[in-house]
């Protein structure tokens, strides 16, 4: 579904990502774990079209998308839930959701909005409220709802657990499992490696811009290298 081949990307200096290869198959949840600065955000932003790759290929359902404008990639079926949520604070919850439907060419925006409200009743209750006044967890739900407004088949998430209480993180991870059950393939970048590997079927470990390890999530979670570097002693 999503094939990333020898992808190099960065910010004009030496590439941050160095020949990254990664696959996301239909129905999968795949996680990329790695420490601060490993290049996880750079990877997602490049796939989503916010950064232009220096080299390599990205295929979505066999179609090359590397270097396409971000809105074209959204239209092709891939949405990003960015790091830090990036809700537009002064706009209402509903306006933020509608931003996610911008550029949609079918007429299913209203229907999708209702579906998002059904999934997130809290967003419906607060639809007229400024997004900036919501709690961190609600803003994360809003960021996910906004991504869903485009009707994606592939969802990329950049550290959705960041700064949230454990209970809220569990809710968000349960939601990702749910969305996946409805046929959305999920590529999840996380520093919370333990939870991410518990949810995902496969994982990749990114270090200094390179994939250093990959495999079934359970095997990664049990591997000494991952245990030492990302899962602590517990």
For ligand ATP, the closer of residues 37 and 64 by Cβ is 37
- CB of 45 vs ligand ATP, minimal distance in Å: 7
- CB of 225 vs ligand ATP, minimal distance in Å: 17
For ligand ATP, the closer of residues 15 and 145 by Cβ is 15
CA distance 77 to 155: 9
CA distance 8 to 42: 10
For ligand ATP, the closer of residues 116 and 188 by Cβ is 188
Structure tokens at 34: 């790695």
Torsion of CA 171, 176, 181, 183, to 10 degrees: 150
For ligand ATP, the closer of residues 6 and 133 by Cβ is 6
Residues that bind ligand ATP (CB under 6 A): 11, 16, 34, 36-42, 83, 191
For ligand ATP, the closer of residues 31 and 42 by Cβ is 42
- CB of 208 vs ligand ATP, minimal distance in Å: 8
End-to-end CA distance of the chain: 35
- CB of 189 vs ligand ATP, minimal distance in Å: 7
Q: How many CB atoms lie within 10 A of CB 212?
A: 14
Sequence-distant (≥ 6) Cβ neighbours of residue 88 within 8 angstroms: 95, 96, 99, 131
- CB of 173 vs ligand ATP, minimal distance in Å: 18
Q: Which helix (H) or strand (E) holds 142?
A: helix 136-148
Strand, coil or helix: 141: helix
- CB of 42 vs ligand ATP, minimal distance in Å: 3
For CA atoms 153, 158, 159, 164, give the dihedral sign. negative
For ligand ATP, the closer of residues 85 and 126 by Cβ is 85
């Amino acid at each position: 579904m999503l094939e990333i081949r020898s992808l190099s990307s960065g910010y004009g200096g030496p590439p941050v990502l160095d020949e990254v290869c990664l696959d996301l198959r239909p129905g999968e949840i795949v996680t990329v774990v790695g420490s601060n600065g490993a290049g996880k955000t750079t990877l997602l932003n490049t796939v989503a079209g916010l950064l232009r790759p220096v080299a390599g290929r990205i295929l979505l359902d066999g179609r090359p998308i590397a270097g396409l404008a971000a809105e074209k990639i959204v239209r092709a079926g891939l949405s990003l839930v960015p790091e830090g949520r990036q809700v537009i604070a002064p706009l209402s919850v509903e306006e933020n959701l509608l931003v996610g439907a911008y550029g949609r060419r079918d007429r299913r925006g209203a229907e999708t909005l209702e579906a998002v409200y059904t999934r997130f009743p809290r967003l419906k209750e607060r639809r007229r409220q400024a997004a900036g006044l919501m709690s961190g967890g609600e803003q994360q739900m809003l960021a996910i709802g906004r991504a869903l407004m485009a009707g994606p088949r592939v969802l990329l998430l950049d550290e959705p657990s960041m700064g949230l209480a454990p209970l809220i993180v569990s809710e968000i991870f349960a939601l990702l499992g749910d969305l996946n059950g409805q046929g959305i393939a999920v590529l999840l970048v996380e520093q919370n490696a333990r939870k991410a590997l518990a949810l995902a079927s496969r994982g990749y470990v990114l270090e200094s811009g390179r994939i250093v390890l990959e495999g079934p999530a359970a095997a990664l979670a049990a591997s000494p290298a991952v245990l030492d570097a990302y899962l602590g002693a517990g």
